[in-house]
Amino acid sequence: MRQYRPKDNVQKKAYHTDRFYQVPTQPRFEVQEGSHFDDVVKALGDLCKEAYVSLNQLVVYIDATTNKETLTLLRDECAYAQCSELSAIDYLAQDGEFEIFYQLLNLSNASRMRVKCRIKPEQAIESVVDVYKSANFAEREMYDMFGIYVNNHPYLKRILMPEDWQGHPLLKTYPLQGDEFASWYEVDKIFGKEYRDIIGPENRDPARIDRYDTKRFSRVGYEVPFGADISEGEKPNPIEYSETVLVDYNKSSKQLDEKR
Amino acid sequence: MQQPNKLTPFFENINFERDDNTMVINFGPQHPSAHGQLRLVLELEGEKVVKAYPDIGYLHRGVEKMAENMMYNEFLPTTDRLDYIASTANNYAYALAVEKLLGVEVPRRAQVIRTMLLELNRIISHLFFIATHALDVGAMSVFLYAFREREYAMDLMEEYCGARLTHSSIRIGGVPLDLPKDWISNLISFCDKVEYELEHTYNALLQENRIWKMRLEDVGVLSAEDAISWGCSGIMLRGSGVKYDIRKEEPYELYSELDFDIPVSDRGDSYGRYRLYMAEIEQSIKIIRQLIPMYKDTKPQLMAHAPEYISAPKEQIMTQNYSLMQHFVLVTQGMRPPVGEVYVPTESPKGELGFFIRSEGEPYAYRVKVRAPSFYHTGLLQEILVGTYIADVVTIIGSTNIVFGEVDR
């Protein structure tokens, strides 16, 4: 029977995990009374659902519908003038949700905080381009990579992938090698779908390496004439590694004995 | 009207021929002054740009996707390909983020070597900037001189790690190698050389050059509010009068112990930024000179001692069975950082380079987000180019110092 592989997360997984392995967790600290982060949490009031400090950065969870309100408040009242990063994490497999984070920077006292919220895949998030202009490109990238729609964005369009691309590459359901559409993209675009059969999978990738190709690749260890057919059988190669790669560790300048 | 067919598809609703005075031109993606694969769609009114639309993605390789499918150590050489002008800065930013996630303390000698390499890379990157920026503007000879000095710096990098462009010279938890035998003396002579050339060649050729000043002064003016709002960092931010350098404000590595200045310009134009690049080379040399005596006082340990996450030194692996087993597990299965997330900003030559890593306790990161400075500087182009003349477009692109390995990732 073929091994079952989950479809909702096709990314690489650990091939072995110890039965009794306990995963440690990064420590989270409570917001200290009287600190700068305490003022921020107080200024947010009801908007803040949960707050903790991790690695000297404040992490705040908010409701996804209040994102613009929260960020405007943080910019105007807490001096978080720059949004240095904005993106999403795909938790669709576990929770059926995306987690969106806004990484903010306060330039006056060099403190950083992260505002996080969660949305369902069918929901859209409000754009924060009016608050931080840097969100313009970042939100487009988030849309491109995850397919999260951003309401009221001035120009919501794919940014890294081609305009006519199908699928969103950073989703956990999207395989690293790409899907059916990705592998035939150039063929479909240049020649048309009907040419898939004529061109065939062996010719669709110009970077494909054919081990019997003697026109574009030389053989290591022995030579064959240009274009010779060697598909019948390759001569066994007596040299495993080319000699230039072999290093004589006894003769190298760095000797282990010296250090002792 | 366009006649779309399969070989010339309909091109994004851009009407290149208009009835009124405006014209739409397509700049790039194969333009020698675009610093890589940048396509700009410019709408012109006479010679004035009324609308600019930067189109990126021509170098998109899915680095973040690859990071999710690679073990932490495996991914490190891939970070070289982000900002390929100063790859050690990327290696370092990634390694630092993972170290913060692991909670690993790096030995002091490794810290000294890392800081040296970072500053050397800053010089390499800034020299490259001077060279290409001058070439874009039209000063050919500066390009040749700056590339000569950059070559010496790359020789130093090659002597240390064996690579000239894609260094991978930093590991998670330290550095792989100690400095070679005469490296320090070569570094000192390189510093002397650059200092001399900076004063006698670059500054002499450019600083008071009438044409250079005419081309750069008051070109690409960026206000402090805009710079902050557009997510600018590094020299783009300091060139607009905001004194913020991550090395100073949120010190990492040895920067809290070092004495250096943060040059700031309140001009906000390309000339101010050019002056900052020159001043930063001087500061980098100053930092390197302070690091040399620090190196001599350190113990020879190069990698952090954290057997759960980081392999033991080679000698130990070769002699002790448990270290060998640990090494085998770490190579085949990879390290498993604690569940959690981290965002670590560093001051790369281009600006704030940060890695956001979300770990679920697996050997593969759950999410890696590269906060690339050039990405945000490219976004800025759609505003900063409007109202400028077509002749200044290349100057402004050069002045933002964007690298497309980083923009598209």
| Residues A62, A120 within the same domain | yes
Q: Answer yes or no: are the C-beta atoms of A65 and A146 closer than 8 Å.
A: no
| Residues A45, A101 within the same domain | yes
DSSP 8-state code for residue B60: -
Within-domain flag for A83? yes
pLDDT band at A129 (very low <50, low <70, confident <90, very high): very high
pLDDT band at A260 (very low <50, low <70, confident <90, very high): very low
Number of domains in chain A: 2
List residues bridging with B79 in a β-sheet.
Answer: none
Q: Which of A54, A105, A164, A171 to mutate to test the interface with B (most CBs of B within 10 A)?
A: A105
3-state secondary structure B321-370: HHHHHHHHHHHHCCCCCCEEEEEEEEEECCEEEEEEEEECCCCECCEEEE
Show the tokens assigned to A250.
């006894």
In chain B, residues with a C-beta closer than 8 Å to the C-beta of A160 are 56-57, 60, 408-409
Within-domain flag for A236? no
Q: Answer yes or no: are the C-beta atoms of A107 and B228 closer than 8 Å.
A: yes
B200-204 contact pairs (CB < 8 A, 24+):
B201/B142, B201/B145, B202/B130, B202/B142, B202/B145, B202/B146, B202/B278, B203/B278
Within-domain flag for B249? yes
d(CA B193, CA B201): 11
Number of domains in chain B: 1
Q: Which of B230, B256, B378, B406 to mutate to test the interface with A (most CBs of A within 10 A)?
A: B230
Residue of B228, B315, B352 with shortest CB distance to A81: B228
In chain A, residues with a C-beta closer than 8 Å to the C-beta of B244 are 107, 110
Question: What is the extent of the structural domain holding A98?
Answer: 36-151
Of B50, B52, B24, nearest to B38 by C-alpha is B52
Residue in B with minimal Cα distance to A163: B12
Beta-carbon contacts of B7 under 8 Å, excluding residues fewer than 6 positions away, are A190
List, as one string, the DSSP characters of B178-244: ---TTHHHHHHHHHHHHHHHIIIIIIIIIIT-HHHHHHHTTSS---HHHHHHTT--THHHHTTT---
pLDDT per residue as tens digits for the range B244-290? 999 988 888 889 899 999 999 988 899 999 999 999 999 999 999 99
d(CA B319, CA B331): 18
A220 vs A23, which has greater pLDDT? Answer: A23
pLDDT band at A248 (very low <50, low <70, confident <90, very high): low
pLDDT per residue as tens digits for the range A69-93? 999 999 998 889 999 999 999 999 9
Question: What is the extent of the structural domain holding B151?
Answer: 63-371
For A18-160, where are the E strands, in sequence order? 48-54, 57-62, 82-91, 97-106, 111-119, 125-126, 150-151
Q: Answer yes or no: are the C-beta atoms of B87 and B167 closer than 8 Å.
A: yes
ipTM of the complex: 0.86
Within-domain flag for A12? no
Q: Answer yes or no: are the C-beta atoms of B245 and B262 closer than 8 Å.
A: yes
- Which chain B residues in 82-121 lie under 8 Å from chain A, judged by CB atoms? 100-101
At B367, which CATH number?
Answer: 1.10.645.10
Show the tokens assigned to A146.
């995850």
pTM tops 0.90: no
Of A74, A68, A70, nearest to A39 by C-alpha is A74
How many CA atoms, within 13 angstroms, populate the side-chain half-sphere of residue A225?
A: 2
DSSP H or E run through B48: strand B48-55
Within-domain flag for B56? no
Give B231 to chain A, closest Cα distance, Å. Answer: 5
| Residues A54, A128 within the same domain | yes
Show the tokens assigned to A237.
């190669």
| Residues A144, A189 within the same domain | no
| Residues A140, A66 within the same domain | yes
Within-domain flag for B221? yes
